């Protein structure tokens, strides 16, 4: 197990570095001058002489080789310096610090809902294959992965917010400020975010469990006289859950992606909204910062998922 | 003396896309205490299905046990629901089964110890410590070296032969009265086969249990079984003591089987004679004898009447054939 | 000696049925009603996209400022938007956008992904490690955010969106292809090719790659739905084809402001998106089941 963990750790670090490099490169895709990372479009257009621009470039180290720029930038990042937000006048770091907890809260709730309900529903389907409950759940799951989540959000707002007036249609409250209100505001956004993942992991669990149930060792378990519950939980689920863990890992970046849409629909000041607003206001340093932070979180959580793999599936430990 | 297990007219069907298959079509046999019997036939003849039916391990759908009785300890097991408490208290505890594929028959994510102790805890009510000790004892008994160190290992850390030994240990762990071995050695190499068969014989002697060996390999049953049943297309076509079957086979199928196997005590240069044709398609079987298309001895009567019933020949020897013994005798007289 | 008869007349002997692969594929594919439904929807979609100018009741760009935000009526089955344009016509024209983006993006993603996967899987070693870690790095980004960022930075417009979406969807194809290649290249016919001295390029392209295709085709059909959803998300946020072009996601966004009075403006395009994605998914499931009969009944 130890070697497995070390190997995974080294891989994670390698991937992390690569990811930061990718972020760096993408931002260089800027149409126009990289100086725009540091000054606003207006200020840039106001500069008339080439020397001014050159001086600015030199100030931000943009005349140095690309690799060196990367190193400086990363150095700054590790010290907590992610640059300044041109549009809002604050540091990128402070904006992220404000938005990140919100996104993490919503993201965690979503992740847990999806990966508890999903596998449970999928297992029910597999065990009760062909019966009414299987058909209904499968149909719902098939629909759930097809619906555009921003549209579902709008539908929910229309029904539960505007027409029935049961739930608030926008905004966010921290759970420790007002738990009840926080929950009311979070229900619809969390549901929308969770929908494709609940549906996806239901389908995946169902197919994986159906495959598992056909295995020889399940027949052995029955022949030992074990109860249905034992056969399902101790023998079938433990094996069938393995691909679902993979799915759960892949869901993490996608949930962040979903937040980009949902936070827009529900007007929630999280990382998604931050990134989108920054893109449209050409506040590129903020974009760079948010994308970077999200990537780091994803790589770290993938490492945790890898570790749990080793715990669940002993065959992996001995590779 | 009443038999330990008596199966009467067992019928099991499968409903497939292509039609209804009668995998087991009126099979009757019995098993006495401390006896080893062999159930022989080619792939698809229903021998595995018949054994799984006695334990009600048939997946329903698409299968269904549609008739017959399985009398064990004075009760007809088929009267009980497949997953009810009665069947569960019999499976593993009174009747145990080991399967053909040792590589896939053990749960890959559970340590071997757990796979043994879960039975001990369930059927014998042992606590954690006692069951673990017993598990180690059992592993040593079946010949796993260094059992104490290996008991927490996972199946993928054992070889095929060792896994099959673990399966044998599991099967016998709760002192069952019957152990059913469904093609236990088919997936293993010849040397391991021999070792495993010896081990099974030793173990059933040790635990004073009866053994049913299901196989397509006559060599296996010749050495260990006291009585043999030969199956074809879902029915028993011949049964008798091992001596009866080998020295005086009566059903053309049995004769055919024996003709394709080389023997040490026959003249050199004898040609191995395969049975021509293919196994029958079990969907929409004709009413006549299922072996008819491949039978070199068939007579007019075979084409006209329904499948022959098992006829008593002498002692414990029965065969389901219309053709008189003089006509089929010959190459196998010893 | 025993009497031996002529064995077996033909009428009793049954040869095993010959399996015709194409026939089996068709039979399994059409065995589920949902799959047929999906195929029908796709055909309708294709026809709608191609025949849009002839099917649409109105010119989707034509504004009718007297008839703004109209409710569904006999003249305008789905009502009109804020500039008086007919919603139904816009949805019909929008199908072109969704289809093109979806298919081309997947083409880009699978083309690049499969090539990388083939190289990584075949050569192994450091090539494999570097390519796989790059893919891992790419997977660290939320696909939508990645596509959004790239598309926004490149400027909007159809080509840039397709490129951005294509890049964000490379990882699943690369990984799948790599896995397939790794298992296929151990097959005897590949080893034989190497023993005969065939060049790596020849082996890769003529022997390994073609045998990896089935799961990849399934993956492609299943991912098209995702591409269409992603494009809808992008146009919802405002990165889409330039106005006055009709993109379903953008239509949902426009309608959002008038949810209380004219909800149909948001509902209709969103429903169209869902229907199309559902159809692609069902057809994808059907292809998967038909290509590998073992999987039948598992989804």
pLDDT digits (tens, 9 = 90+) for B130-170: 999 999 999 999 989 888 888 899 998 998 889 999 999 99
Band of pLDDT at residue B329, cut at 50, 70 and 90: low
- Whether the pLDDT of residue B224 is over 50: the answer is yes
C297: closest CA among B61, A130, A145?
A130
Q: Do B278 and C7 touch (CB under 8 A)?
A: no
**Which residues in chain A are contacts of B135 at CB distance < 8 A?**
none
**Which residues in chain C are contacts of B278 at CB distance < 8 A?**
13-16
Which H helix or E strand runs over B172? helix B160-172
Examine the domain organization and report whether A68 and A156 are in the same domain.
no
How many distinct structural domains can be found in chain B? 2
C147: closest CA among C109, C119, C173?
C109
- Report the SS3 class of residue B27: strand
B41: closest CA among B233, B291, B261?
B233
Examine the domain organization and report whether A73 and A172 are in the same domain.
no
Q: Is A216 on the interface with B (CB under 8 A)?
A: yes
Of B293, B296, B331, the CB nearest to C12: B293
pLDDT of res. A319: 60
Could you tell me where the beta strands, DSSP code E, fall in chain B?
5-16, 19-31, 36-40, 63-72, 75-76, 95-98, 178-182, 210-215, 227-232, 235-241, 311-314, 317-319
The pLDDT tens digits for B40-79 are 988 778 899 999 999 999 887 788 899 899 999 889 999 9
pLDDT of res. A33: 66
Q: Can you tell me the distance from the alpha carbon of B63 to that of B182, in angstroms, rounded to the nearest whole number?
A: 19
Q: Can you tell me the distance from the alpha carbon of C57 to that of C52, in angstroms, rounded to the nearest whole number?
A: 9
How many distinct structural domains can be found in chain C? 1
> Phi, psi (5° rounding) for residue B10?
-70, 135
- On average, the pLDDT of chain C sits at 83
Examine the domain organization and report whether B23 and B117 are in the same domain.
yes
pLDDT of res. C19: 58
Inter-CA distances, A128 with A224, C1, C31, Å: 22, 60, 22
Sign of CA pseudo-dihedral B190, B191, B192, B197: positive
- Report the SS3 class of residue A264: helix
Which H helix or E strand runs over A15? helix A2-27
Q: How far is C14 from chain B (nearest CA, A)?
A: 7
How many distinct structural domains can be found in chain A? 2
Examine the domain organization and report whether B206 and B272 are in the same domain.
no
In this prediction the ipTM stands at 0.86
Examine the domain organization and report whether B126 and B261 are in the same domain.
no
Q: What range does the domain containing A235 cover?
A: 94-312
Q: Which residues contact B145 (CB under 8 A, 6 or more apart)?
A: none
- Whether the pLDDT of residue B331 is over 50: the answer is no
Strand partners, B7: B29, B70
Q: Do A260 and C267 touch (CB under 8 A)?
A: no
- Report the SS3 class of residue A112: helix
Examine the domain organization and report whether A184 and A106 are in the same domain.
yes
pLDDT of res. B217: 82
pLDDT of res. B171: 92
Of A217, A222, A318, the CB nearest to B106: A217
Q: Can you tell me the distance from the alpha carbon of C54 to that of C49, in angstroms, rounded to the nearest whole number?
A: 10
Judging by beta carbons within 10 Å of its beta carbon (0-12, 13-18, 19+), is residue C23 exposed, middle or buried?
Answer: exposed
pLDDT of res. A221: 93
Contact B295, B259 (CB under 8 A): no
A1: closest CA among A309, A317, A319?
A317
**Which residues in chain B are contacts of C28 at CB distance < 8 A?**
none
Chains interfacing with A (3 or more CB pairs < 8 Å): B, C
Examine the domain organization and report whether A214 and A246 are in the same domain.
yes
**Which residues in chain B are contacts of A219 at CB distance < 8 A?**
57, 99, 105
Examine the domain organization and report whether A233 and A161 are in the same domain.
yes
Is residue B330 a part of any domain in this protein? no
Examine the domain organization and report whether B271 and B160 are in the same domain.
no
Query: In the β-sheet with B178-182, what is the strand arrangement from edge to edge?
Result: B95-98, B178-182, B210-215, B36-40, B227-232, B235-241, B317-319, B311-314
pLDDT of res. C9: 40
Of C34, C140, C253, the CB nearest to A295: C140
pLDDT of res. C1: 38
Q: Can you tell me the distance from the alpha carbon of B189 to that of B99, in angstroms, rounded to the nearest whole number?
A: 16
Tokens (6 digits) for B294:
């491949």
Q: Can you tell me the distance from the alpha carbon of C286 to that of C34, in angstroms, rounded to the nearest whole number?
A: 9
- Whether the pLDDT of residue C3 is over 60: the answer is no
**Which residues in chain B are contacts of A319 at CB distance < 8 A?**
none
Examine the domain organization and report whether B68 and B129 are in the same domain.
yes
Chains interfacing with B (3 or more CB pairs < 8 Å): A, C
- Nearest chain C residue to B331 by CA: give it: C1
- Whether the pLDDT of residue B21 is over 80: the answer is yes
- On average, the pLDDT of chain B sits at 87
Tokens (6 digits) for B104:
């896939």
- Residues in chain A predicted with pLDDT less than 50, given as ranges, are none
Percentage of residues in chain C with pLDDT exceeding 70?
Answer: 91
Of A216, A227, A228, the CB nearest to B105: A216
Examine the domain organization and report whether A258 and A134 are in the same domain.
yes
Q: Do B96 and A223 touch (CB under 8 A)?
A: yes
Q: Can you tell me the distance from the alpha carbon of A213 to that of A105, in angstroms, rounded to the nearest whole number?
A: 36
DSSP code of B5? E
Q: Is C263 on the interface with A (CB under 8 A)?
A: yes
Examine the domain organization and report whether B187 and B264 are in the same domain.
no
* Residue B62: cis peptide before it, omega within 30 degrees of 0: yes
Transcribe chain C into DSSP letters. ----PPP--TTT--PPPPP-HHHHHHHHHTTSHHHHHHHHHHHHHHHHHHTHHHH-SS-TT---TTSTTPPS-SSSTT-B-TTS-BHHHHHHHHHHHHHHHHHHHHHHHHHHHHHHHHHHHHH-HHHHHHHHHHHHHHHTS-HHHHHHHHHHHH-SSHHHHHHHHHHHTHHHHHHHHHHHHHHHTTSHHHHHHHHTT--HHHIIIIIIHHHHHHHHHHHHHHHHHHHHHHHHHHHHHT-SSPTTS--HHHHHHHHHTTTTT-THHHHHHHHHHHHHHHHHHHHHHHHHHHH-GGGTT--
**Which residues in chain B are contacts of A235 at CB distance < 8 A?**
107, 110
Note the residue count of chain A.
319
Examine the domain organization and report whether B220 and B257 are in the same domain.
no
Examine the domain organization and report whether A63 and A102 are in the same domain.
no
DSSP code of A36? G
Q: What range does the domain containing C90 cover?
A: 80-295
Examine the domain organization and report whether B213 and B294 are in the same domain.
no
Contact A193, A149 (CB under 8 A): yes
Q: Can you tell me the distance from the alpha carbon of A220 to that of A247, in angstroms, rounded to the nearest whole number?
A: 28
Examine the domain organization and report whether B271 and B214 are in the same domain.
no
Q: What range does the domain containing B133 cover?
A: 5-225
The pLDDT tens digits for C81-120 are 888 788 888 898 889 889 999 999 999 999 999 999 989 9
- Report the SS3 class of residue B251: coil
Band of pLDDT at residue C142, cut at 50, 70 and 90: very high
- Report the SS3 class of residue B283: strand
Which stretches of chain C sit within 8 Å of chain B by CB? 1-5, 7-9, 12-16
Q: Do C267 and A145 touch (CB under 8 A)?
A: no
- Nearest chain C residue to A274 by CA: give it: C145
Q: How far is A9 from chain B (nearest CA, A)?
A: 24
Transcribe B66-80 into DSSP letters. EEEEEEETTEEGGGS
Is residue A88 a part of any domain in this protein? no
Contact B164, B129 (CB under 8 A): no
Transcribe B78-141 into DSSP letters. GGS-TTSHHHHHHBTTTEEEE-S-TTTSS-TTS-HHHHHHHHHHHHH---HHHHHHHHHHHHHH
Query: In the β-sheet with B63-72, what is the strand arrangement from edge to edge?
Result: B19-31, B5-16, B63-72, B75-76
Of B92, B107, B110, the CB nearest to A225: B92
Which H helix or E strand runs over A255? helix A242-266
Residue with tokens 């297309």: B233
State the Cα angle at C144 between A84 and C249, rounded to 5°: 110
B141: closest CA among B117, B165, B123?
B165
Q: Provide mean pLDDT across the span C35-64.
A: 86
Q: Do A254 and C143 touch (CB under 8 A)?
A: yes
CATH no. for residue B196?
3.40.50.300
Q: Which residues contact A239 (CB under 8 A, 6 or more apart)?
A: A212, A215, A217, B107, B108, B109
Tokens (6 digits) for A157:
């707002």
Tokens (6 digits) for B243:
């001596």
Is residue A19 a part of any domain in this protein? no
Is residue C260 a part of any domain in this protein? yes
Tokens (6 digits) for C264:
């149909």
Q: Provide mean pLDDT across the span B207-223.
A: 89
- Nearest chain B residue to A228 by CA: give it: B83
pLDDT of res. B327: 57
> Phi, psi (5° rounding) for residue B21?
-110, 125
Examine the domain organization and report whether A149 and A208 are in the same domain.
yes
C232: closest CA among C276, C280, C193?
C276
Q: Can you tell me the distance from the alpha carbon of B117 to that of B137, in angstroms, rounded to the nearest whole number?
A: 12
Q: Do B278 and C14 touch (CB under 8 A)?
A: yes
CATH no. for residue C194?
1.10.3720.10
pLDDT of res. C289: 81
Q: Which residues contact C37 (CB under 8 A, 6 or more apart)?
A: C279, C282
Q: Which residue has the higher pLDDT, B181 or A61?
A: B181
Contact C86, C74 (CB under 8 A): no
**Which residues in chain C are contacts of B331 at CB distance < 8 A?**
2
Is residue C177 a part of any domain in this protein? yes
Note the residue count of chain C.
299
């Amino acid at each position: 197990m130890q070697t497995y963990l070390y190997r995974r750790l080294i891989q994670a670090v390698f991937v992390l570095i690569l990811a930061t490099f990718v972020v760096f490169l993408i931002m260089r895709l800027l149409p126009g001058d990289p100086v725009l990372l540091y000054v606003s479009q207006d200020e840039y257009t106001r500069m008339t002489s080439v020397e001014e621009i050159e001086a600015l470039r030199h100030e931000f180290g943009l005349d140095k080789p690309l690799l060196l720029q990367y190193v400086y930038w990363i150095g700054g990042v590790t010290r907590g310096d992610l640059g300044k937000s041109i549009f809002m006048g604050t540091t990128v770091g402070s904006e992220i610090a404000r938005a990140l907890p919100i996104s993490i809260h919503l993201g965690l709730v979503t992740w847990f809902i999806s990966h508890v309900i999903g596998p449970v529903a999928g297992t029910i389907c597999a065990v009760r294959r062909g019966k009414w409950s299987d058909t209904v759940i499968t149909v719902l799951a098939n629909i759930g992965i097809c619906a555009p989540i921003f549209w579902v959000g709008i539908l929910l707002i229309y029904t539960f917010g505007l027409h029935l007036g049961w739930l608030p249609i926008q905004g966010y409250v921290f759970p420790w400020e007002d738990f009840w209100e926080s929950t009311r505001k979070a229900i619809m956004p969390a549901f929308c975010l969770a929908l494709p993942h609940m549906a996806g992991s239901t389908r995946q669990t169902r197919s994986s469990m159906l495959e598992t149930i056909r295995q020889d060792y399940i027949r052995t378990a029955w022949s030992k006289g074990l109860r249905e519950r034992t056969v399902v939980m101790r023998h079938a689920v433990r094996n069938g859950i393995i691909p679902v863990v993979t799915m759960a890992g892949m869901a993490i970046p996608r949930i962040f992606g979903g937040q980009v849409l949902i936070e827009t629909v529900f007007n929630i000041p999280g990382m998604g909204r931050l990134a989108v607003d920054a893109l449209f206001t050409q506040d590129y340093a903020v974009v760079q910062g948010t994308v970077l932070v999200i990537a780091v979180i994803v790589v770290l959580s993938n490492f945790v998922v890898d570790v749990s793999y080793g715990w669940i599936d002993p065959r992996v430990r001995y590779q | 003396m009443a038999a330990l297990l008596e199966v009467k007219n067992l019928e099991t069907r499968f409903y497939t896309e292509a039609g209804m298959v009668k995998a087991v079509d009126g099979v009757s046999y019995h098993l006495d205490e401390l006896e080893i019997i062999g159930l022989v036939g080619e792939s698809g003849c229903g021998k595995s299905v018949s054994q799984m039916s006695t334990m009600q391990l048939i997946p329903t759908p698409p299968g269904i046990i549609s008739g017959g009785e399985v009398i064990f300890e004075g009760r007809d097991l088929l009267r009980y629901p497949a997953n009810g408490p009665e069947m569960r208290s019999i499976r593993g505890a009174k009747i145990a089964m080991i399967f053909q594929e040792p590589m896939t028959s053990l749960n890959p994510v559970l340590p071997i110890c757990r796979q043994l102790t879960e039975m001990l805890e369930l059927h014998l009510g042992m606590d954690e410590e006692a069951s673990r000790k017993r598990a180690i004892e059992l592993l040593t008994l079946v010949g796993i070296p260094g059992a104490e160190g290996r008991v927490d290992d996972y199946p993928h850390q054992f070889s095929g032969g060792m896994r099959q030994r673990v399966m044998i240990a599991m099967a016998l762990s709760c002192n069952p009265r019957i152990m059913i071995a469904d093609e236990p050695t088919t997936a293993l190499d010849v040397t391991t086969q021999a070792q495993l068969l010896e081990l099974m014989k030793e173990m059933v002697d040790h635990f004073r249990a009866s053994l049913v060996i299901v196989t397509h390999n006559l060599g296996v049953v010749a050495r260990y079984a006291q009585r043999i049943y030969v199956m074809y297309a879902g029915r028993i076509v011949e049964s008798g003591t091992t001596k009866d079957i080998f020295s005086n086979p009566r059903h053309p199928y049995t004769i055919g089987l024996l003709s394709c196997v080389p023997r040490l005590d026959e003249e050199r240069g004898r040609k191995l004679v395969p049975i021509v044709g293919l196994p029958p398609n079990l969907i929409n079987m004709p009413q006549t004898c299922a072996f008819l298309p491949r039978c070199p001895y068939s007579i007019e009567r075979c084409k006209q009447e329904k499948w022959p019933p098992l006829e008593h020949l002498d002692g414990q020897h029965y065969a389901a054939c219309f053709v008189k013994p003089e006509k089929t005798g010959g190459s196998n007289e010893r | 000696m025993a009497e031996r008869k002529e064995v077996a007349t033909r009428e009793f002997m049954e040869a095993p049925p010959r399996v015709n692969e194409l026939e089996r594929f068709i039979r399994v594919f059409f065995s589920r009603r949902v799959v047929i439904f999906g195929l029908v929807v796709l055909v309708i979609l294709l026809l709608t996209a191609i025949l849009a100018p002839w099917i649409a009741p109105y010119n989707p760009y034509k504004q009718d400022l007297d008839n703004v935000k109209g409710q569904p009526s006999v003249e305008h089955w789905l009502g009109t938007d804020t500039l008086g344009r007919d919603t139904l016509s816009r949805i019909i024209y929008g199908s072109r956008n969704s289809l093109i983006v979806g298919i081309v993006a997947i083409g880009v993603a699978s083309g690049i992904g499969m090539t990388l996967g083939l190289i990584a899987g075949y050569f192994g070693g450091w090539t494999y490690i570097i390519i796989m870690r790059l893919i891992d790095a790419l997977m660290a980004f939320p696909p939508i955010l990645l596509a959004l960022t790239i598309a926004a930075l490149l400027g909007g417009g159809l080509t840039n969106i397709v490129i951005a979406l294509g890049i964000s969807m490379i990882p699943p194809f690369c990984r799948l292809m790599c896995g397939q290649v790794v298992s296929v290249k151990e097959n005897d016919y590949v080893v034989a090719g190497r023993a005969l001295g065939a060049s790596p390029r020849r082996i890769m392209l003529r022997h390994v790659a073609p045998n990896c295709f089935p799961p990849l085709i399934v993956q492609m059909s299943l991912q098209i739905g995702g591409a269409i959803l992603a494009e809808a998300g992008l146009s919802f946020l405002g990165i889409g084809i330039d106005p006055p072009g009709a993109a379903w996601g953008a239509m949902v966004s426009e309608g959002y402001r008038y949810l209380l009075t004219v909800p149909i403006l948001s509902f209709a395009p969103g429903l169209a998106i869902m229907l199309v994605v559902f159809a692609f998914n069902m057809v994808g499931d059907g292809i998967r089941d038909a290509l590998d009969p073992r999987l039948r009944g598992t989804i």
